[in-house]
Amino acid sequence: MIRTLYTLLLTLAAPILLWGLYRTKPGKPAFGSRWKEHFGCTPPLLATGQPIWIHAASVGEAIAIVPVIKALKQAYPEQAIVVTTTTSTGAEQVAKLGELVEHRYMPIDFGWCVRGFIKSIKPKLFLIVEKELWLNTLTCIHHQKIPTVIVNARLSERSAKRYQSFSFFTHQLLNKIDKILCLHNDDAQRFIDIGAQQHQIAV
């Protein structure tokens, strides 16, 4: 019932969200024909094997995750990594990593879009940078038994209060996440306050 209501609200909001995403701005790279990736039409990766999927919504998250990517590639040189961003400016930032990763655009949070992405990419692990939580995405990944981890997890007091106000919805998000890796004890406590379990949290 919650997912149905959420998807209905997302459908109503989608035209406004997409207009904001695709409108042209000075210095903003164009999506070109790759806009289809937002709708689950995702080209297969060039690399072989199941990749680690990292989602970094935009420029800030893409910069923040670079040390993690480099550490992963140093430890596991043959491991394929795909980084998704929502924005074209985020894609531009990921491109600076060269052959360390492949980039794809994040599918919009409709089940059929996410399932198309998963079918093409076949990830073994899903890493979310900071706090980009989408109900249909998390549900589809959970159904596929793909472990989900939030890295560099942050939660401000203001955001925590908002999540607490919608605890029925927040529970649906948190119970589909395996680990929440926080930078600070304050962030960890706020995640617990909004309903995360102690065993999910690490600082």
Active site residues: 61
Sheet with 125-129, strands from edge to edge, namely 102-105, 81-85, 52-55, 125-129, 148-153, 179-182, 201-202
Alpha-carbon gap, residue 146 to 124, rounded angstroms: 6
Mapped onto helix, strand or coil, the DSSP state of residue 103 is: strand
Cβ atoms of 64 and 31 closer than 8 Å:
no
Using alpha carbons only, what angle is made at residue 130 by residues 177 and 55, rounded to the nearest 5 degrees?
75
Return the amino acid letter for 183.
Answer: L
Cα–Cα distance, 73 to 163 (Å, whole number): 35
Type of residue at 34 = R
Backbone angles phi, psi at 140, to 5 degrees: -60, -40
* Locus of tokens 């998250």: 61
Classify 152 in phi/psi space as left (phi over 0), alpha (psi -120 to 50) or beta.
Answer: left
